[in-house]
Structure 1
């Protein structure tokens, strides 16, 4: 709608098109009009579909075919210093890239190699035994699958006895899978020597990031399990 208003709101006529999003929702089509387009010294009279709502405009396959567009040559941005070229790669180029970075793109669990985690117990620490809690039947199969996945990945090791057994807590993740967390507060947490090194506050971190130009957010899969 915003782009339609920006070009002068040309008269619309009803459209028989039914446009559907990838998630199955139907778009509310307001109407259709024809617009005069100039691109690289050529002129075109092309249909424009207007939908209710505010969203980014899409270049349809009909325009691409009629204008004989090469998408690899389309430059985004008005400022040459800040513009970029949208590239489309063929299967061979994609496979080459995937092979080049296969160590980064694989689904295997990573390992922290810079430091080795360790737990330091108090001198008077006594092992505690805690019985497993009942798991909801709705989570039972998912928990079994998750434990088996961890065993196959070398994260967990099957044992018959232990002086420090702790119950697990199933947690449903955003992706629909069920993760397993050990409830160590009832067994080992209060018998540990805690690292008292102060953690920087948000204000301290923001000061350190002052004048920074490039930032990234890392979401590690099974982050705690990547530490040996």
Structure 2
């Protein structure tokens, strides 16, 4: 138990720390202690809208910013991606997730689209 001072006063709350770099989760008791429940609820439930400053048509915006609306994926040019792997780590085989038969065609088409865009590379084994 730790003593926490928030918008609603001082409270004693249970502090849980996750192991091995897992994401720590703030429970409802902590959210309430900081008076953030209404803010979080509104973020999760409110409809989000973008209001235009000027009255512009979709075609005007598409014409002015064509690179934003191109087909396919863009490229990250601001930072260089790097994945750190621990030494001696062996890949783990996992069986595929179950997929409803009715979804096979749609998923297959989407996978083909990713391969065509260069996002995925087909392999013959896992």
TM-score category, normalised to shorter length: 0.3 to 0.5
- Greater strand share, 1 or 2? 1
TM-score of the pair, normalised by structure 1: 0.27
Greater share of residues in helix:
2
Largest Rg, 1 or 2:
1
